[in-house]
Structure formats: C-alpha cells, structure tokens
Structure 1
Amino acid sequence: MAKILNVNNLGKIYTSGSKKLTVLQDITFDVEEGETFSIVGPSGSGKTTLLGICAGLDQPDSGTVTLCGTELGSLNEDERAILRNRNIGFVFQDFQLLPTLTALENVAIPLELRGDKNAMKNGMELLDKVGLQNRFHHYPSQLSGGEQQRVALARAFSNNPSILFADEPTGNLDAETGEKVIQLLFQLNADAGTTLVIVTHDLELAAKTKHILRLKGGRIIANQETTAL
C-alpha cells in the first residue's frame, strides 16, 4: 500500500534564553493510505508537536516529512497552506469553531473559500451526517461540547481530505459523549476512505486504531500494529 505520510529522522528543539529543550529526537515512521494510526504518550512527550510538524503547521529542526507525495521542507508557507487546504482535515480538542458563525456557516465557509457554489447545501448534508440537522442555525455557545465537536467533524471532512489529523478529539468531552464522537469519527472516516492520525493519551481510543506509535521524552519507544478490526 502507498505511504501517505513519511517521517524520517525528525528532530525539534525549542530554545528559551540559553536553555535548549529537545522535544523530538530521531523520529521515523510511515503511515499508509487509508490507515487508522494513533500517536500516544504522556503529557510532554512531544505528541502535539509531532502532529503539527506532520501537518505542515510547524517545521522541524532536522529530518524530513513527506505528506501526500510532497516533501514539506521544500515548500514555503503559502505552498504548505495550499497543500493543507487541499489534502488535510483537522479536529482539535477545543473545537476551534468561529463563535460568531452558526453551525452551518462554520462548515460552509471553508467550502465557499474553496469555490464550492453549493457550499450551503453541502454543509447541510455534512451536518445531517453527524446528526445535527436540527442545529443548522445554532451558534457554538448554544451547542453542547459534543455537538460542537460534531460540527468540527463535519467541517474536517468538508474538503474530502486525504488525511485527517485529530488532536485529543475527546479531551474536552465526558466519557459517554466522547465515545459517541469517536464512533462517529471512525464511521465518517471509513465512509470517506480517509487516512486518520489521532494524537491521544487515551489508550482505549488508541486501541481502536490499526497502528500505535508510542512516544516518551520525545523519542519513539514502540511502533506496533494492533488487533483493531
């Protein structure tokens, strides 16, 4: 199977005054097209930093990331933004919905920016898929946490992404709501045939993916297939 993400010998160092903190060191792994893949580790292990670099939101100090056939280090900021816009979906722990826009507008605006003439209609269909057909005109403040994350899921799939990055997608949700959101995420992902990369500290969630990469202290301590269906 083709590799959609290749990370080779990645390193990241943060400098604060005279101190240097190595956040990631010697990180090498591949993700195959259509795979479900989780990155796990304790707080401070470098998970979110790694996700940001893989998605082209941040740059490494050493090593390379090849995403959707393009080596990210060869692109400037605008070119990375275009690649993200075309190929990547994001789901964040804190939802990142625009508070002054309705649920429908939050989903439709990215579609409009891509030139979709049926943005509102397609936005409605996406919200319908996540069970929010009665919440089109509600603002984020009028929605529960679980509903807000459903809007975020609809938005994440709006550009039919090749790969979706989810950073602690259930981090702000109670256990029952979080389980429902994860079921929905995996169902949408399977329907769309998208590659899914999840950063999580939740080992039960990680066990639902086909592959687990374990980090500790900025290094890989395990890289293994799972028995997930």
Structure 2
Amino acid sequence: MDILALVGSPREAGNCDTLVNRVLEGSGAAGASIEKVMIADLNIYPCRGCMECRPTGKCDLEDDLKLLLDKIEHADALVVAAPIYGNHLPGQFKVLFDRLVGVMHRTDNSVPGKLTSYSRLQKKSRQLLLLAVAGAPREESCEQALSFLRRVFLPETNGGEIHELRAIGLSAKGQVGMNKEELTELVAKLTVSEPEEYLGRMLARNKCYLDGAYQLGREITRQ
C-alpha cells in the first residue's frame, strides 16, 4: 500500500511536519510504502484563470503540478496536513489547490443550480486523512480548512474512509514534539497562574496528538 503525505506548512520540523512524520511512522510500521511532500519545496505557479483545464484536464504551465498529480493518482491513501492561518489554509497551499482542482476534477453543471465534481484520476478506493493544526485553543478554528479539504478530495476517495485529526493550542514551532524539559522552558515564558498544572496538560495533550497520529497512520493502512 502506498501512502502519500502532503504537508502544507512552510516550516520543516513544525507541528504539521511532526504529526505527519508520526502518521507515517504508523503507516510504515504497518507495512506501507510512504512518501512525504513538503508543498513549500515545490515549484507551483499561481493559476492564471484561463479555464483551459476545465474541458481538457491539462494545464499549460510548466512546473511541478503534473509530478504531484501523478503521485496523488498512484497513492492508495492520502494524508493532507494544513496549519491554520486566519482560520483557513496558508496561501501557498491554496495556490496549489487553485491549480489542482481543474486538472484533477471534471465538473458537471447540466442540472440547473447543481454542480457535481468527478475525479479524472484512476478510479480506486483511497483512504483520506486530514490534519489541521492550530495555534488557537479552539477546534472551530480548524473547520473552514477541513471543510474545504473534504470537498477537494472527496471525489478521489471512491468510497474510501475519511479520517480527521484536529490539533489545537500548538502556538510554538514544534511544540507537539517537545519533551518535558522543553515544555517547561516554554511555560516559563508564559503568564499562567498554575504553571505545573498547565505543563501537565500540555504533556498530556502532546501524547494524545502523537499517539492519535500514529494510530491513524496504522488505520489508513489497514483499510
């Protein structure tokens, strides 16, 4: 089984990257072939709005889009991770999707008032795992991004299950992977009334997210 992870964060070793690595550890331990793509490392031009891709599924811009599309088509499971910027995706990730939807989907608007998207890719069941990572301590901060990603990738699942992980309250780079000593230093910089209790909650939360990511990595491999 081939697992492809798309990391929408521009920061290596950040919270998105750390959680995706944990997912892939779980998938790898379950016997899957794994690959991770950092979107910030790709050369993706912004969409020009020419609409040529709509009837043909082809884009004339020469960059890394076709390479990525081939990887998505080949994958048996997709892991898509996004940091939350202003309650939505970061700009560089949205640039990718502006380009991707026209070559990955065809649309049917023959029924008045209804638009249906169909995948142009090889029709096979694909598992989908969506990760949203927010600095804010509110799960609702993740909802717009997750809703968008569900709509984008639903046609590619072909009946495969969709899993989601919301990781909130992670405002420092790589916080989810910090050990007790590192978190203690972080808490010392904050204004909290009960630092020991706060530290305990942070440690428990990190473990919950990391364990959850690992188990989801195994879960998408078993499907």
Common topology (TM > 0.5): no
Q: Could you tell me the TM-score, scaled by structure 1's length?
A: 0.35
Q: Between Structure 1 and Structure 2, whose CA radius of gyration is higher?
A: 2
Q: Which has the higher strand share?
A: 1
Q: Could you tell me the TM-score, scaled by structure 2's length?
A: 0.35
Q: Which has the higher helix share?
A: 2
